[in-house]
Amino acid sequence: MADRHKEGSKSKYTLDRQMPGAFEGETVTRRRFMTGVTHGAGAVAAMAFTLPALGFAIGPLFSRLPWSWQPIGPPEDFTDTTYTTKVIQIVQGIGEAGNSIAYVRKRDPAIDTEPLDQYNHWVALSSRCMHLGCPVRFVAAAERFICPCHGGVYDFRGMVVGGPPVRPLDRFYTRYNTSTGLVELGPRYSVNSELQRFSPRDPGQPLDGIGQYLYPPRFDTASLTSR
């Protein structure tokens, strides 16, 4: 051992290094031991706070809510001059708390110029404001959707004409069921200012320009489109 000291190597034992209070056979100083214990306890405490919060934040991104087409009435219930209010279920299994409102009308080719397909013979707008998600109300006399929270205003087509909303009102797919003779409401989807369809986004997330890339779609809502 003396030869190793002469060669410049240091003993791994604290007693050989003449540390005060060292014990025979001890290889880790109490300072290093307590430092390690403190860092370990800090890491455990940090994980105890961080992991539950992280799981709460990202958990919904990987859970997909089921959606079934919902009948909302016969075609004659809807006109192209005004909206009919329909109560729909957006979350199953929680009673009335899972209900929402959709504003539905017949498509008007004079103003609804987006390409016609099997899912938009009827226009169904969501009642969630695209600012912070407050419920909007359709005012028939003014042909406007009004948000009472922060003054958001949408025109007859659901396009933003005033206030802070960042995009038009979300929409629902619609279809006609030949077996039942009823109009049915499908999954929700979001649109940009040109009414291009996107997978559902949250309120406050714009879809024009770079916004469609900054706010990717969530996986917790079914959709018939992948954009």
Does residue 226 surpass a pLDDT of 50?
no
Question: What mean pLDDT is reported for the chain?
Answer: 83
CATH code, domain with 101: 2.102.10.10
Question: What would the pLDDT profile of 207-220 be if each residue is shown by its tens digit?
Answer: 999 988 888 776 55
The reported pLDDT for the residue numbered 148 is 94
pTM check: above 0.85: no
- DSSP conformation letters of the chain: -HHHHHTT---S-TTTTT-TT--TT--S-HHHHHHHHHHHHHHHHHHHHHHHHHHHHHGGGG--B----EEEE-GGG--SSS-EEEEEESSTTSGGGGEEEEEEEE--TTT--SPP-TT-SEEEEESB-TTT-PBPEEETTTTEEE-TTT--EE-TTS-EEESS--SPPPEEEEEEETTTTEEEEEEEEEE-TT--EES---TT---STTHHHHSPPPSSB--S---
Question: What would the pLDDT profile of 127-166 be if each residue is shown by its tens digit?
Answer: 999 999 999 999 999 999 999 999 999 999 999 999 999 9
Do residue 199 and residue 90 come from a single domain? yes
Residue 58 in domain: yes
Host domain of residue 179: 65-214
The reported pLDDT for the residue numbered 5 is 47
% pLDDT > 70, the chain: 74
Do residue 53 and residue 135 come from a single domain? no
% pLDDT > 90, the chain: 57
Do residue 39 and residue 99 come from a single domain? no
Do residue 89 and residue 146 come from a single domain? yes
